[in-house]
Amino acid sequence: MSYEYEINELAKEESWRMFRIIGEFVEGFDNLSGIEPAVTIYGSSRLKADKKLYTETEEIAYRLGQLGFSIVTGGGPGVMEAANKGARRAGVTSVGLNISLPEEQICNAYATKSITFNHFFTRKVMLVKYAVAFVIMPGGLGTLDEVTEVLTLMQTHKIKPFPVILFNGEFWKGFLDWLRGAVLSGKYISKKDFDLVRVLDRSDEVVEAIQRWYVGHEVIGRKALPR
């Protein structure tokens, strides 16, 4: 097999890959249009159902659902399952945006609307696009990736400055201390960037903060919530 042939075949594969990526965006837009207003909840896939955080996550999603918010998650187990469970219990749209991984992640049973993506970046766009608030529960590298992306999009004015709530101040203390210390003192961020983040410890505080912000702001194209 010639070198030129291999190069041509690789170019063809890349071209088809581009169309597959476009297809994922189209599927996401077609399936998720109309779910607004929505709240995206991030957090660890490793959280067990017998943990307090699982119950708190479910309660947050349930109470937000009672106010009329759809709930969007990454579709997997742990925090995602708890949030989808709360949304389903509230009778609102419970979205699970699953990702195809080498160690297969199956979408949890509580998502009423689910899509499986092959590419993280298309999935991440969909996790952000329809949300009017973001609740970040404790998690690992994936959760850190998601919260920093959301903050970067707001910092650079690519999306509107919606509420970003870090749940459980004790868990996030080290991260915030690092940002306020090494990162801020090195002038890699500014003090006003901290205005994008709220740290809360109770489920009722989270729900109240999101409702208060939403009712107090006219968000173009979003459905009105009961006052």
Q: What is the pLDDT of residues 118-136, one digit of tens each?
A: 999 999 999 999 999 999 9
Of the chain, the percentage scoring pLDDT greater than 90 comes to 75
Q: Is the pLDDT of residue 220 over 70?
A: no
Domain ranges of the chain: 3-216
Sheet holding 131-136, edge to edge: 113-117, 94-99, 70-73, 38-42, 131-136, 164-167, 197-200
pLDDT in tens, 146-160: 999 999 999 999 999
User: Residue 227 pLDDT more than 90?
Assistant: no
Which tens digits make up the pLDDT trace of 13-24? 777 788 888 999
Q: What fold characterizes domain 3-216?
A: Rossmann fold (3.40.50)
| pLDDT one-digit tens code per residue, 90-112 | 999 999 999 988 776 788 999 99
Token duo for residue 144:
């850190």
**Nearest by Cα to 168 from 203, 208, 128, 209:** 203
pLDDT tens per residue, range 171-180: 999 999 999 9
pLDDT > 90? residue 188:
yes
